[in-house]
Amino acid sequence: MAPDECVEATLNRVGKHVVLGLPVAIGKPNTLVNAFVARAVADPNVRLTIVTALSLRVPRGRSDLERRFIEPFTRRVFGNYPELEYLRLIERQQLPANIEVLEFYMEPGAWLRNEHLQQHYLSSNYTHVARDALRRGLNVIAQLVAAPPADEAPGLLSLGSNADMTADLLPLIAARRAAGSSKPFALIGQVHRDLPFMYGDALVTADTFDFLVQDPGTTLFSPPNMPIPPTEHAIALNVSTLIRDGGTLQLGIGELGDGICYALQLRQKQPALYREVLESTGMLARHRRLIESEGGTAPFERGLYGCTEMLADGFLDLYRSGILKRRVYPSAKLQRLIDDGHIDERVSLHTLDALVEAGMSRMSFADFQEFREVGLFRDDVEYDRGVLITPDGQQLRATFSDPEQRAQIAQYCLGETLRNGVLADAGFFFGPKGFYTGLRELPAVQRKMFAMRGISFVNELYGHEWELKCAQRRYARFVNTTMMVTGLGAAVSDGLSDGRVVSGVGGQYNFVAMAHALPEARSILCLRSTRTADGVTSSNIVWSYGHCTVPRHLRDIVVTEYGIADLRGRTDREIVEALVGIMDARFHGAFVADAHRAGKLPKDWRIPDAARANTPQQLAKKFAPWREQGLFAELPFGTDFTADELVLSKALRSLQASTQSWPGRMRTLLDALLNGAPTPAIQPHLARMGLAQADSLSQALQRRLLATALRKVLQTG
């Protein structure tokens, strides 16, 4: 079915008021969505409401120099990715009155000045979006799906990158239909040839969909790995010490997530060197007690399990490094026995003995189903009213208390090894092109260990699977980023004090709440200690702020490049003292003065000497010897940028930083005029930018400005 035909069929089914639910990030069927938008633009009688999040745009430069850099790159990497027409209309303020776009999570910082998206932001926990979309009259769901590979059973499809919302909505829709609801609904899949075929809740039958559309061979959106700045490497190194062996990990996309994966790999592969880095930078001495109680520095023997809102490409790197290796099974009873070291994956009489020692003497039908699913019992063993029936017809009482009975069950009913274990549960995935290729190329048996789940499973504990989730999510470390932290521990992650939305709460509150609900779990919020805008540097740890994402009573662990602040269970004075210890020393004075005025610190309290050393210069000095040895590289996992483009990107960043203030712009311009004549070494870089020759005065100035920045980059390496 062609997109236009699908739109017509959908309108015939649901009417001319379409409330269209679209997945987060890459799961959107862009060509189909554009057909819906085109129809609504052409016909004012069609009302189109789009409910979605993280609508993706191909990067575009703001200045001529940026465009010269980015456009050849986007043509190569993003190929024929179809831009979303509704975003183009929103950008140009041309969205007609009969179309509205509601996002519950926006591209961070991209839409601060856009009235439509600011007015139509839907503030909701990720786990509540399905509920809220239905309340708003959701009547169409459309998303990309993956066709089965040749070795998979016919008649199946996969939700691929996005089980998150759809898997939660499918049973609600089915229940409505079963109850005889007359409200029409349409579920549409667009089959994409490059979308990895994933399992877990993503596995569905083709007849789940009312309409199927073929993708015309477009490119999946694939952002490149970006350079990891030194600040993120320092934050990541701190975080890596808090991850406990045998535990659970939640990570996000971006430089910080990559940095954490790199630090964990260093801990795994070169533990002596890892510990030496921690000692030389002072991190180990400063946080030894917290590291020993909550994390560790030794390699991962039991490994980690990923329970993560988004499956980032770093999880594949952790898998390949032997870190992501803690399998979890859909049985709370067996999971606890495995994690406590009483049993392993091999099934034997010892497994039954361990169950008895754990207090299980009799098995219900629900227990039997659970045990058979994970491989404790053979597939051809049946259960009937308290009796196990073996393949040859023997009947054995389903009780474990009698040693003789257990031995018979072990002889005739048990499987050989546990099965259906997974290494990661995730709601959606998103990442560079190599990540999608890596998932596609995994053998099915390995790909099944990366299970795509409904977001209600990943992001919360509530429901009938509470006991299972608690067993699986042992020693959970939920790592997220925030923009600011206030003096008493509240986090500002998604918005500004004037009400404008930067991004959205997404699942951050979900994971913070879960960290407080789960035994031995911790929420870790990470932030740079400072930010710079228009040449002015400000602290990200502030006394107070007029917006809050995570309230102070849910404070936990906060990490900056300067260290770790454990705020859980701390008094207000202790919180202030801990935050002083991880903030940039340039901002101590004002922060402490505010604390004194509020009566939160004694008047004679003094800033510790260790905290006074929290400066960018001291931090760079601590890491310099290790960077010289090749550690903490900018791109440890590679990138889609060419070597030439990496040099140019550094030069452009340097040029941008040097021109943020008026005096800086004047100095840079003077330097370019006096010293900006291109040298032979710089000429190839200028050619890549289309500036081998200058055709105008403006281009001549651009050549000199860029040549000056390139010269500095090439000199410093």
Parallel, antiparallel, or unpaired: how do β-strands 203-205 and 156-158 relate? Answer: antiparallel
Gap between the terminal Cα atoms of the chain: 54
- Range 280-300 average pLDDT: 97
**At residue 608, does pLDDT exceed 70?**
yes
C-alpha 371: how far from chain center: 32
Q: Provide DSSP, 332-389.
A: HHHHHHHHTTS--SB-SHHHHHHHHHTT--B--HHHHHHHHHTTSB-TT-EEETTEEE
Q: Characterize the bridge pairing of strands 186-191 and 211-214.
A: parallel
Please give the distance of CA 146 from its chain centroid, rounded to a whole number.
Answer: 21
- Residue 696's CB: how many other CB atoms inside 10 A? 8
Nearest CA among 645, 649, 537 for reference residue 590: 537
Which segments within 74-134 are labelled E, that is strand?
Answer: 99-103
Is it the case that residue 664 has pLDDT exceeding 80?
no
What φ, ψ does residue 611 adopt, rounded to 5°? -70, -30
Report the candidate in 568, 565, 454, 577 with the shortest Cα–Cα distance to residue 126. Answer: 454
Query: Identical fold at 3-214 and 231-326+423-616?
Result: yes
pLDDT in tens, 30-49: 999 999 999 999 999 999 99
Amino acid residing at 703: R
Identify whether the C-beta of residue 478 lies closer than 8 Å to the C-beta of residue 260.
Answer: no
State yes or no: pLDDT of 713 exceeds 90. Answer: no
CA 294, CA 81: separation in Å to the nearest integer? 44
Q: Helices in 126-243 by DSSP H: which ranges?
A: 129-135, 166-178, 230-240
Cβ partners under 8 Å of residue 500, min gap 6? 112, 118
Cα–chain center distance at 373: 30
How far is 579 from 478, CA to CA, in rounded Å? 20
Distance (Å, rounded) from C-alpha 215 to C-alpha 32? 9
Query: What superfamily would CATH give domain 231-326+423-616?
Result: Acetyl-CoA hydrolase/transferase C-terminal domain (3.40.1080.20)
- For the chain, what is the mean pLDDT? 95
Answer whether 206's CB lies under 8 Å from 188's CB: no
Q: Tens of pLDDT along 548-560?
A: 999 999 999 999 9
Task: Look at the chain and count its residues.
Answer: 717
d(CA 653, CA 633): 17
Report DSSP letters for 124-150, one per residue: --GGGHHHHHHHTT--EEEEEEBPPPT
- CB count within 10 Å of CB 576 equals 24
pLDDT digits (tens, 9 = 90+) for 627-651: 999 999 999 999 999 999 999 998 9
Whether 347 shows a pLDDT value over 80: the answer reads: yes
CA-based Rg of the chain, rounded to a whole angstrom?
28
Which CATH number, 3.30.110.40, 3.40.50.1980, 3.40.50.720, 3.40.1080.10, labels domain 3-214? 3.40.1080.10
| pLDDT surpasses 80 at 322 | yes
- C-alpha to C-alpha distance for 248 and 478, rounded to whole angstroms: 8
Exposure class string for 424-454: b at 16+ Cβ within 10 A, else e: bbbbbbbbbbbbbebbeebeeeebbbbbbbb
Lowest-pLDDT choice from 198-207, 274-283, 456-465, 515-524:
456-465
Q: What is the SS3 assignment for 245?
A: coil
User: Whole-angstrom Cα distance, residue 459 to residue 428?
Assistant: 12
* Residue 116: CB atoms within 10 Å: 17
Task: Name the residue type at position 489.
Answer: G
Paired strand residues for 141 = 21, 187
Q: What is the mean pLDDT of residues 600-611?
A: 96
Residues in a beta bridge with 157: 204
- Reference 20, options 1, 2, 39; nearest CA is 39
**What is the rounded CA–CA span in Å between residue 423 and residue 439?**
14
pLDDT over 90 (residue 156): yes
Q: Where do the structural domains in the chain lie, given as residue ranges? A: 3-214, 231-326+423-616, 332-412, 643-716
- pLDDT on residue 529: 99
CA pair distance 58, 219, nearest whole angstrom: 11
pLDDT value of residue 717: 63
